[in-house]
Amino acid sequence: MDKILVHGGRRLSGSVRISGSKNSALPILAATLLTAEPCVIHCVPDLSDIHYMLQILSHLGAQVERASGTVTVQADKIKTVAPYEIVRKMRASVCVLGPLLGRHREAKVSLPGGCVIGDRPIDLHLRGFRALNAACRVEAGDVKVFADELRGSTMNLEGKQGPTVLGTDNIMMAATLAEGVTVIEGAAAEPEVVDLANFLIKMGAKIEGAGTRRISIEGVKQLHGTEHSVIPDRIEAGTFLVAAALAGTEVTLRRVNPDHLFSISNALKEAGFILEIQRDQITLRSNGGVRPLELITEPYPGFPTDMQAQMCALLNRANGVSRVTETVFPQRFMHISELKRMGASIELEGATAIIHGATELSGAPVMASDLRASAALVLAGLVAEGVTEVNRVYHIDRGYESIDEKLAGLGAHIERVKEPRPR
């Protein structure tokens, strides 16, 4: 298993290009199952999660070709069973259920495992499928959905932790080929949901309201192939803004959509940083110290849970006590124990991290866990005294395209150590 060594103390400057969004590309790749015609998707990031999704599509019988950032998929003859040995690697595989149900009226996918950020139920997805007149069964570790005919209806998909992103995606995809009109109340409004809706509309789907809590889909007979470019990854962009806030003098991010970064930019401005926003670029300058914050993660357009760990790393530098409350995945604090090993002073009270700032961090061997927690440890290493060794970097490679090379390009002293593969 590779590891990343971060030598702390270097200042970052210059510019970095942000990749296409992982959380947009995954459901859009799944949506290619809705048509027998070829779909061409540009700006697909080179990530292991994307590789797993392409494996699943191939296993289902689709022809898949990748040429650098462009993926072409043609799913003319497909099976409807996604097996455990592939699905277990990535829980987002659950988003093939909706297109398979829409196209073939049946699907069987191995249940996604839990993960370190907490239990990952799919009860809201099943609530939506049942509302479309599908039967759902969970047996022997698989989830099966099937319907003689899919009928549109009005449903509310919100759960106790708020809307579901992939649940909204799944129902929207299935509903494009259902009879009649489907209305999703309590829908997720993330930019990635909007990007998927725009892709489906290009395929001939009739969708209104994407980006709001109420999405309506009028079913059509069939969908056709199309071409699409995936939006920039707002979480990768946010991660690099925090890197710049921690270790930068002045860093510019290229190929971003500033509208998708509003809550992140606001938090960094409140913490005392200067952000210069242009059409598809954003520059962050430090302006002296870091002010402490009270942050609460919320569904979009609130502050994203996927940026919580990175902000905890930053707020160790704040002049005062910060409180970070996690409402989407209340257990998502794997990074806290590792940051404390580096000298951070943080207490957990339920789903709130209390961060006593102005602590000097020292490099240490740390263990990567969830994708964003792992990125937070690399960021902390940028300003830690000495060397931080981040193990199990496959977690990071799931969601960040060449994070070590991009940070090195900004001046960080960072290296990837390839561990010999066990024989």
Binding site for ligand EPZ (CB under 6 A): 23, 26, 92, 120-125, 159, 161, 164-167, 188, 192, 305-306, 328-329, 371-372, 399
β-sheet bridge partners, residue 159: 162
Min dist CB 365 to ligand EPZ, Å, is: 23
Looking at the Cβ atoms of 53 and 315, the one nearer to ligand EPZ is 53
- 253: closest CA among 233, 223, 271, 273? 233
Cα distances from 103 to residues 32, 150, 174, 224, in angstroms, run 10, 10, 8, 12
Looking at the Cβ atoms of 328 and 390, the one nearer to ligand EPZ is 328
For residues 249 and 243, the answer to whether their CB atoms sit within 8 Å is no
Amino acid at site 90? M
Looking at the Cβ atoms of 290 and 376, the one nearer to ligand EPZ is 376
Residue 345 token pair = 């002073």
- 143: closest CA among 110, 191, 174, 178? 110
> Residue 61 region, left (φ>0) first, then alpha (ψ -120 to 50), else beta?
left
Q: Residue 312 catalytic?
A: no
Q: Which helix (H) or strand (E) holds 65?
A: strand 63-67
Min dist CB 77 to ligand EPZ, Å, is: 27
Cα distances from 91 to residues 82, 140, 314, 317, in angstroms, run 12, 17, 29, 34
Q: Which of 39, 43, 95, 115 is catalytic?
A: 115
Pairwise CA distance, residues 110 & 124, whole Å: 17
Looking at the Cβ atoms of 273 and 400, the one nearer to ligand EPZ is 400
**Between β-strands 248-254 and 274-277, what pairing exists: parallel, antiparallel or unpaired?**
unpaired
Strand order in the sheet with 63-67: 63-67, 70-74, 39-42, 227-229
For residues 138 and 67, the answer to whether their CB atoms sit within 8 Å is no
Min dist CB 376 to ligand EPZ, Å, is: 11
Looking at the Cβ atoms of 77 and 137, the one nearer to ligand EPZ is 137
Helix ranges (DSSP H) in 90-159: 97-104, 123-131
β-sheet bridge partners, residue 348: 353
Min dist CB 117 to ligand EPZ, Å, is: 6
Q: Is 210 helix (H, G, I), strand (E, B) or coil?
A: strand
Looking at the Cβ atoms of 158 and 290, the one nearer to ligand EPZ is 158
β-sheet bridge partners, residue 407: none
Min dist CB 331 to ligand EPZ, Å, is: 9
β-sheet bridge partners, residue 183: 154, 216
Min dist CB 306 to ligand EPZ, Å, is: 4
Min dist CB 372 to ligand EPZ, Å, is: 5
Looking at the Cβ atoms of 187 and 339, the one nearer to ligand EPZ is 187
Q: Which residues are catalytic?
A: 115
